[in-house]
Amino acid sequence: MRESLRLSGDDFDIVEADRGNFALHLLYAARPDVVLLDISMPEVGGLPVCTEIKRNPATARTQIIVVSAHCESSMVAASLAAGASDYITKPFQPADLVRRVRRVLAATPVAA
């Protein structure tokens, strides 16, 4: 994912976490506009992380795109119900990922 975003020509600042606990820690420190979140992560999975991001008033406006190998409609529905803005299945086309990131960024309201 990192390489897809780097090659897009956009000026994305990218921070990575390979575990749900660490993702939440980084989220609170970095305050990103968009989180690309995998469902299958060690320790704390993507759905609880998504729910926590949306539950916390300090991070609730953060846009979340779930990127997962799970293609079941129930997983897509659960992710959207947890607060994800979009869901993309692996493998994906890099241009599709970039397009979706741009779309959620464009739709993000500016903080007052």
Domain-located, residue 112:
no
Secondary structure of 51-106 as H, E, C letters: HHHHHCCCCCCCEEEEEECCCCHHHHHHHHHCCCCEEEECCCCHHHHHHHHHHHHH
Structural domain count, the chain: 1
Domain-located, residue 89:
yes
Q: What is the full per-residue pLDDT of the chain (112 aa) written as tens digits? A: 777 777 677 777 778 888 888 888 888 888 888 999 998 887 888 899 999 999 999 899 999 999 999 999 999 999 999 999 999 999 999 899 999 999 998 887 665 4
Domain-located, residue 109:
no
Domain-located, residue 110:
no
Domain-located, residue 47:
yes
CATH for 20: 3.40.50.2300
